[in-house]
Amino acid sequence: MQDCAVIRLTEGRLAWYAPGAGDTLRYLDEDGAKEQLSALVAQPGTQLVFAAPGGDVRLQSVEINPDEKKHIEKSLPYMLEEELISDVDTMHFASSFEGKSTLRVAACLRSKMSNWQDLLGDFQAIGQWLPEPLLLPWQSGEWALVIESGTAIVRLGEFEGFAVELDLLSVMLESAMGEHGDQPKTIVVYGQCQEEDVARVPETLQRVVQWRKGGLGAALLLRDETYNPINLLQGDFAVRLPFTRWWKQWRAVAAVIGLAFCLQLVATYTEFVSLQQENTQLRAAVEQSYRKANPRGAMVDAEKQLSRQLSALQGSAHSGGFVSLMSRLGEVIHANPGTSIASINYSDKADEVRMNISANNFESVESIRTAMNQAGLSAKTESSSAQGDKVSARMRIGADL
């Protein structure tokens, strides 16, 4: 395991193996050990694994109907209830599928999981908890044993293994041989004293034993790092984002950002109130200016009303407008000496003028009407009458569209 550091429990103390360090075991309660491990894990590509004690974890493969996959999480504890000594409510179950119908199960007490979780509280980077037996190297037809002081870790198959006291090792191996039916081709034993270690294996199996000096650290060197059949961190113990730790680290920054946001909010509101007051003052000034130009009448939208009135006075593409109309009328009246305008009324909607004129005679009235029509206006004489030596006429003049 060249890129993986392994933490394990040894005689109640947490210790760790550095990647590729063999049996060099370092205890985490020693000075500077935690900082050294944290610095190592911080390096890119380095993984951290906790080896869950094999004596506390039971490994088992269960054949199930593929249709049961949807509900297996709820039904699994009761499927194994008769095979477990402890109450299923006190047990934690981790599982993974191998193929369509084989379910691999690792079971241990929830109290053990909680205890390990407390012990490993300083190491949030641990993403995998693997049972110790599954950390031993394995290949088909081979068993692997690590004999340590007082205990032995055994791996019998791809997902088979256990940890047991040395006094019970021989009995457990004989039982395993009976369950498998065939003897293994090779039993690789890691230990410190070849004669004593081999003697702990049943006599019928001693001929296939290959003894190697070393412990779990030496065995880890030959393990396939890509093979991790199950992770105990599932369900209630699954890895979760460390929101509490993040909050402790970033709460000061969050407080500064929150304060800056509040200040910006207050400044924005203050500016809004100021602009609103300025807008009210401007509206009052606009209304005051409108009343100077048009003292009477309803005022709804001063800008639009003034714009429309100016447009009517200036004229447009569709109407002559008052100024344009009066300009042409003035030219015609001026061209006829002796003619004067008595009164005039202008209609904005109709864009026309009704006026009373005074002329020398009826011929002059008719001459004015004709001149207006020739000037592009539409002029009609509505009435005419003699007034002494003058003739008074009422005319309606509009733009000739």
Residues 102 and 23 in one domain: yes
Residues 273 and 235 in one domain: no
In a domain, 309, yes or no: no
Domain boundary among 300, 330, 345: 300
Mean pLDDT over residues 232-249, rounded? 74
43's tokens: 């390096």
Q: Tell which wins on pLDDT, 230 or 320.
A: 230
Query: What pLDDT, in 10s, does the model give residues 31-68?
Result: 888 888 888 877 887 888 999 999 999 999 888 877 77
- Supply the pLDDT for residue 246: 65
Which residues are registered as beta bridge partners of 157? 160
**CATH number of the domain within which 379 lies:** 3.30.1360.100
Residues 216 and 236 in one domain: no
When mean pLDDT is compared across 38-52, 158-172, 196-210, 233-247, the lowest value belongs to: 233-247
Task: Write the CA distances from 371 to 34, 124, 326, integer angstroms.
Answer: 112, 103, 14
- Supply the pLDDT for residue 294: 73
- Supply the pLDDT for residue 144: 95
Number of C-beta neighbours around residue 344 at 10 A: 14
- Supply the pLDDT for residue 318: 43
In a domain, 305, yes or no: no
The answer to whether 346 and 355 are in contact (CB under 8 A) is no
Q: What percent of the chain is modeled with pLDDT above 90?
A: 32
Residues 84 and 20 in one domain: yes
pTM of this prediction? 0.59
Residues 37 and 95 in one domain: yes
Mean pLDDT of the chain: 84
pLDDT over 70 at 310, yes or no: no
pLDDT over 70 at 244, yes or no: no
In a domain, 3, yes or no: yes
In a domain, 47, yes or no: yes
The residue type found at 252 is A
Mean pLDDT over residues 247-258, rounded? 83
In a domain, 118, yes or no: yes
Distance CA 137, CA 119 (A): 27
pLDDT over 60 at 376, yes or no: yes
Distance CA 142, CA 156 (A): 7
Helices (H), 206-242: 216-220
In a domain, 306, yes or no: no
In a domain, 371, yes or no: yes
Q: Is 46 left (phi over 0), alpha (psi -120 to 50) or beta?
A: beta
Residues 9 and 90 in one domain: yes
Residues 94 and 150 in one domain: no
Residues 91 and 8 in one domain: yes
**CATH number of the domain within which 105 lies:** 3.30.420.380
Residues 329 and 188 in one domain: no
The answer to whether 396 and 384 are in contact (CB under 8 A) is no
- Supply the pLDDT for residue 143: 95
pLDDT over 60 at 388, yes or no: yes
The answer to whether 16 and 123 are in contact (CB under 8 A) is no
- Supply the pLDDT for residue 241: 57
Residues 91 and 236 in one domain: yes
Domain that holds residue 199: 137-222
- Supply the pLDDT for residue 302: 73
- Supply the pLDDT for residue 199: 94
Residues 85 and 11 in one domain: yes
In a domain, 262, yes or no: yes
pLDDT over 80 at 125, yes or no: no
Mean pLDDT over residues 194-216, rounded? 93
Distance CA 372, CA 33 (A): 112
Domain boundary among 171, 188, 222: 222
Query: What pLDDT, in 10s, does the model give residues 283-300?
Result: 888 778 777 767 776 766
List all residues 6 or more positions away from 198 whose beta carbon is below 8 Å from its beta carbon: 189, 206, 209, 211
**CATH number of the domain within which 164 lies:** 3.30.420.370
Q: Tell which wins on pLDDT, 305 or 261.
A: 261
- Supply the pLDDT for residue 355: 85
Distance CA 373, CA 394 (A): 16
**Number of domains composing the chain:** 4
Residues 88 and 7 in one domain: yes
